Amino acid sequence: MNELTILLVVILFPGVLLTVIYDNYAEHKPWDSFKYILYSIVSGLITYSTLQLAIFLGQFLYDIKGYSETEWFVLSVWDAIKNSKTAQITPWEILAACFTGITLGLISVKATQSKLIHSLLIKWKVTNKYGDASVYIQTIESIGNNFVNVVLLDEKITIQGIIQFYHDNGHFLEVSLHSVKVFNTETGDELYEAETLYISKAYGNILLYKERTS
């Protein structure tokens, strides 16, 4: 690798950390290679911008002299982006940016899982789309820690239990339940009980519902 390639990898690494954390811990539709690279680049810029703002804010609060009299510290990464052949990046900036990227990644996961941003956008009538997760995921999240019925349509089996884990990988619907009872859908006979049960089915083979409480 040449120096420019190494420089780009170093600069983008905090953004890659943020993107990897979000990709692994937030429910969303699968990304292709182009989106992954694009999100890593954008996340890198967001990470360094956040770090830069934090430094400016720290300078302002620590030594208030006024805007014109303060000797503002500017990250070397901005100069590296403009003059990649001559610029040098201070190692502590990369480490600080990595820590910032991890923090922003965890915050973004929390914001996504809590549907905070989407709820505000819907409330302000900016959009009607409730997140990037499938209806399957949103339905499970709305049920909470309650007993549900999962009907396996291709096996004529009904499963009652409390959902622990769930996932929609774009091809299969996965769900893990505990405190499980399994019944024959047609006869209603109980077949067996289980502490934990994992299910993986293709689209169209699972019916999930929570009984109405009076």
Q: Write out the chain's pLDDT in tens, 214 residues.
A: 455 566 677 778 999 999 999 998 887 777 888 999 899 989 999 999 999 999 988 887 777 665 556 678 888 888 776 665 556 677 888 899 999 999 999 999 888 877 777 677 777 877 666 666 777 888 888 887 889 999 999 999 999 999 999 988 878 999 999 999 999 999 999 999 999 999 999 988 999 998 877 6
Q: Are 4 and 87 in contact (CB under 8 A)?
A: no
Query: Which residue is listed with tokens 């999962």?
Result: 150
Number of alpha helices (DSSP H) and beta strands (DSSP E) in the chain:
6, 5
Q: Quick one: pLDDT at residue 22?
A: 92
List the one residue out of 206, 144, 134, 204 whose CA is nearest residue 168. Answer: 134
Strand (E) or helix (H) holding 35: helix 33-62
Query: Which residue is listed with tokens 């699972």?
Result: 206
List the one residue out of 202, 191, 208 whose CA is nearest residue 168. Answer: 202
Token pair belonging to 39: 């999100």
Q: Quick one: pLDDT at residue 64?
A: 62
Nearest-angstrom CA–CA distance, 45 and 12 = 8
pLDDT tens readout for residues 117-159: 767 777 787 766 666 677 788 888 888 788 999 999 999 999 9
Q: Quick one: pLDDT at residue 66?
A: 58
What is the amino acid identity at position 210?
A: K
Q: Are 74 and 48 in contact (CB under 8 A)?
A: no
Beta bridge partners, 177, equal 163, 197
Q: Quick one: pLDDT at residue 129?
A: 62
Q: Quick one: pLDDT at residue 59?
A: 81
pTM (two decimals): 0.69
* Residue 92 DSSP SS3: helix
Residue ranges of domains in the chain, CATH in brackets: 3-123 (no CATH), 135-209 (2.30.30.100)
Burial (CB count <10 Å: 0-12, 13-18, 19+), residue 199: buried
Q: Quick one: pLDDT at residue 111?
A: 83
Q: Quick one: pLDDT at residue 151?
A: 95
List the one residue out of 211, 126, 100, 104 whose CA is nearest residue 161. Answer: 211
